[in-house]
Amino acid sequence: MNLIVAVDKNWAIGNKNDLLVRIPADQRFFRQETTGKVVIMGRKTLESFPQKKPLPNRMNVVITKKADYKVDGCVVVGSIEEALDYVKDYKSEDIFVIGGDSIYHQMLPYCDVAHVTKIDYAYEADTFFPNLDKMPEWKITEESEEQTYYDLEYSFVKYEKKA
């Protein structure tokens, strides 16, 4: 299973239920990687999308403790275990965990590939992703050249869990 995330230099991912920054190339990469695939997210991540609508051309799986929560175009489950059970018949490489904070932390043990956009800037933030550079079971297997969006430098980094 994959996860996909954009982090700042402190591994921050968001502030007040919003992204830290929108970088067009990162958004293109996200679309390219996840279109036609399964995306797993928490309720607050879904509610941060435009009109609180699911992502088009993807199977949207939303994890929430709200038992009566319903959204057209989404499969709503009540736990990590239910989400894993729901996606068990999909190919692992076709499943992407897309946030937020609590879902990333809970799903990390089930993932073996992490697509991380690393942004060389420290934002004011209230949510963070685990620092994979400090986790010996994760190693960088690919890294793009540094890119620039206005004055922001960033790179696409692929981590894989060691077998």
How does pLDDT run across 52-80, given as a tens digit for each residue?
999 999 999 999 999 899 999 999 999 99
Architecture of domain 2-161: 3-Layer(aba) Sandwich (3.40)
Q: Which two tokens stand for residue 131?
A: 């620092």
Listed in sequence order, the DSSP H helices in the chain are: 24-34, 43-47, 80-87, 101-107
In whole angstroms, give the CA distance from residue 103 to residue 17: 14
In whole angstroms, give the CA distance from residue 148 to residue 137: 30
pLDDT value, residue 115: 98
In the chain, domain spans? 2-161
pLDDT band at 17 (very low <50, low <70, confident <90, very high): confident
How does pLDDT run across 84-98, given as a tens digit for each residue?
999 999 999 999 999
Global pTM?
A: 0.96
